[in-house]
Amino acid sequence: MTAVLLEPQDLGHLVQFVPDLCFDDAERQAALLENGSRDFNAVPGSGKTSLLAAKLLLLAMKWPHPHKGICILSHTNVAREEITRRLAQSVEGSRLLAYPHFIGTIHGFVNQFLAMAALRQRELKVDVIDDAVFAKRAWSLANSNRYATLRVWLSKQHNAEVLVNKLFYKSATLDVVSEGGGLPGAHTATYKQMVALKKELTGVGIFRHRDMFAYAELALAEHPHLLDVVHRRFPMVFIDEMQDTSWEQEEILNRLFENRSTVQRFGDVDQKIISGDPESDKATFPRTGHGTISTSKRFGKRIAEAVASIRVSQQPVVGEADDACSPVLLLYKTTNINRVVYRFGELVVDRFAEDALTNRAVRAMCARRGGEGKVDPGRHMGDYWPAFERAQPSSTKDDLQVLLQWQRATLAERATEVRRGVLLTLRAAKAPVADELHDGRYLLRAVKEQQGDATQLQQLIRELTLTPPSFVSPDDRAALASTMYAHLACLLRAEMTAEEFAALKLFANPLMGEEKPTEGGPPTVCTVVHSDRELECSLGTVASMKGETHLASLVLESYGKNRRFDLQMALPFIAGLGKNFNKLTPAQQGQMRNLYVGMSRPTQFLCLAANESRVDAQTRLALAKKGWEIDVLS
């Protein structure tokens, strides 16, 4: 037996390891003491990630194997960082941060243990694995003369851009298909150009995340013994945020670990809001016999009642925290929609003293842009806050500003982003050293080989890693260009002047020339001044705020692709007007799940905003009877 067993007496160590957390209830104790393979479905704010971290700390104390480890997988870097942070606080936990254990995202795991083997065998280098970078390059290639046949065909397609931008390899045969829709027959010249385009990008190392799963399958097909190697290395596997795992990902994990290792999966099936998986009905989470955690430590009774009323599975949500204020329904008119977020800020200032707001998040969120059409506004964030739409970066790993200002990552990750940023700059400047160099990680080596010394480059990377540069004003950008030029001059073409370098497009401000959003403030922040106090409320999509805990949250109504407003549909459920969940279409259930994620973020104050034309008198009355305040924006 290679898995480690936890026993009731082990729980005594939790006071020392995680003194801020409480695991006294039967549901959490059962999850901690479960030693077999089992799923756990837990409500928002139940502390899934911290429970998992606590369990790992207990296992770390007893882990006896020098060459076998625990595999801990999450969907997002945020969850991975939370687990890592908790483990790093003790000597025992720190052991899990190194060999033989693995902590990372499912993507990272599949790349490291499977896909890279297949790529290496084919001598394929990876420049970047990033859907946005791929999309940008693929669309630009598709519009070039070399792909004229493809271009003509695309000009007749209504979904041309998405077809090209979402090309990916499927299964071990590396079939070229698109998430954007069907492609022409394999024998056609158009399809052959589509394949050539995909291969051209493969040749320069630009991949989409999904491609890695195809290479992983290829690795398993060519080397079936990898299955044994991986599961023997990891007798215990924990997966966080399981509801967001696509079937493609789950299938590979099942092949590796099911019925071989002890696998425990944590998540909340009602928070599944990542759509676009055509095989999502095959997903198995949560399996029959799963454990449950039904109490939330994040919010109290009133928010719990609202959240439970729209929970698609209809399972209970119990709020265990203190109940602070009544929820508010904020009704606006089409003519004053641009005041909604500001009004929410005023409501927050009225309810909380300055101290209570310090270091606590106040956020406004809305579903992703969905349906268009001639309907009263309130369709997406752009209707409430026009600057928001314009501020969305079109690309991530291909944008110097994003790379150099990546705030969330660890220092090591920041250095990787900075190296890539420097490589992009050298490429833009057509520096000889950047020719044929696809991966920022090899930049230092390439410079050393070429120049014999890379001290200047090293200094620049260190400086940018430790102090993220500002891009706000033209002066900031000129200063960055000047610093980079000073350190990189020896690598640039002899004729390149500092002025030419500073004029490179990647130092330009993407928002330059556009109307300023709010008196020069960032386009995703609303600054509210009320009662001689100031409050900042940041804005985002619900998906971008998943996993967050706020003091106060505003959920703005939105219009789905199915041409239904989410809150118009949900408010009668929240008001308890006896609506039936079984009558909701899959698209409407998706909207409900989105609201469920958004409405379950706040610890104390929940506010929903809807156009008054869409909320009838009966619903308003029923909500008021349940203790909701109705605030009509004048």
Ligand X SMILES: Nc1ncnc2c1ncn2[C@@H]1O[C@H](COP(=O)(O)OP(=O)(O)OP(=O)(O)O)[C@@H](O)[C@H]1O
Closer residue to ligand X in complex, CB, 324/504:
324
Tokens of 344: 């929410």
Residue 104 annotated in ligand binding: no
Candidate residues 32, 40, 41, 48; the one interacting with ligand X per rule CB under 6 A: 48
Candidate residues 21, 489, 506, 587; the one interacting with ligand X per rule CB under 6 A: 21
Residue 44 annotated in ligand binding: yes
Residue 45 annotated in ligand binding: yes
**Contacting range for ligand X; rule: CB under 6 A; set: 38-46, 455-463, 560-568, 604-612:** 38-46
Under 8 Å between Cβ of 480 and 471: yes
**Contacting range for ligand X; rule: CB under 6 A; set: 18-26, 132-140, 416-424, 625-633:** 18-26
**Contacting range for ligand X; rule: CB under 6 A; set: 43-51, 221-229, 311-319, 457-465:** 43-51
Minimum Å distance from CB 273 to ligand X? 12
Residue 38 identity (one-letter amino acid): R
Minimum Å distance from CB 564 to ligand X? 25
> How many binding residues for ligand X (CB under 6 A)?
18
Cα gap 233→224, rounded to integer Å: 15
Residue 140 annotated in ligand binding: no
The dihedral of CA 33, 35, 36, 42: what is its sign? positive
Q: Is 594 in the site for ligand X (CB under 6 A)?
A: no
CA separation, residue 587 to residues 213, 298, 314 (Å): 27, 28, 17
Candidate residues 378, 469, 547, 590; the one interacting with ligand X per rule CB under 6 A: 547
Name the residue with tokens 């890539």. Answer: 420
User: In angstroms, how far is the first alpha carbon of the chain from the final one?
Assistant: 68
**Contacting range for ligand X; rule: CB under 6 A; set: 20-28, 163-171, 242-250, 516-524:** 20-28
Candidate residues 46, 165, 243, 249; the one interacting with ligand X per rule CB under 6 A: 46
Closer residue to ligand X in complex, CB, 174/361:
361
Under 8 Å between Cβ of 550 and 44: no
- Binding track over 214-253 against ligand X, x by CB under 6 A: ----------------------------------------
Closer residue to ligand X in complex, CB, 297/363:
297
CA separation, residue 615 to residues 25, 266, 330 (Å): 40, 37, 11
Tokens of 510: 């993407």
Minimum Å distance from CB 274 to ligand X? 14
Cα gap 189→193, rounded to integer Å: 6
Q: Is 268 in the site for ligand X (CB under 6 A)?
A: yes
Minimum Å distance from CB 88 to ligand X? 17
Minimum Å distance from CB 549 to ligand X? 5
* Strand-pair partners of 295: 318
525 by DSSP, 3-state: which? strand
CA separation, residue 623 to residues 61, 573, 597 (Å): 51, 10, 20
Q: Restricting to residues 595-634, which ones interact with ligand X according to CB under 6 A?
A: 600
Closer residue to ligand X in complex, CB, 89/338:
89
Minimum Å distance from CB 109 to ligand X? 20
Q: How do strand 533-541 and strand 550-556 relate by DSSP bridges?
A: unpaired
Tokens of 620: 């308003």
Distance of CA 619 to the CA centre of its chain: 34
Name the residue with tokens 């393979």. Answer: 37
Q: Restricting to residues 143-162, which ones interact with ligand X according to CB under 6 A?
A: none
Minimum Å distance from CB 57 to ligand X? 13
**Contacting range for ligand X; rule: CB under 6 A; set: 16-24, 165-173, 279-287, 528-536:** 16-24
Candidate residues 47, 286, 345, 590; the one interacting with ligand X per rule CB under 6 A: 47
Residue 42 annotated in ligand binding: yes
* Strand-pair partners of 167: 178
123 by DSSP, 3-state: which? coil
Under 8 Å between Cβ of 329 and 626: no
For 363-383, b/e burial (b = at least 16 CB within 10 A) is bbbbbbbbeeeeeebbbbbeb
Q: Which residue is nearest to ligand X (CB)?
A: 47
Minimum Å distance from CB 19 to ligand X? 10
Cα gap 375→380, rounded to integer Å: 12
Q: Is 401 in the site for ligand X (CB under 6 A)?
A: no
Give the residue numbers of the binding site.
42-49
Binding site for ligand X (CB under 6 A): 21-23, 42, 44-50, 268, 271, 297-298, 547, 549, 600
Could you list the residues known to form a binding site for ATP, using ranges.
Answer: 42-49
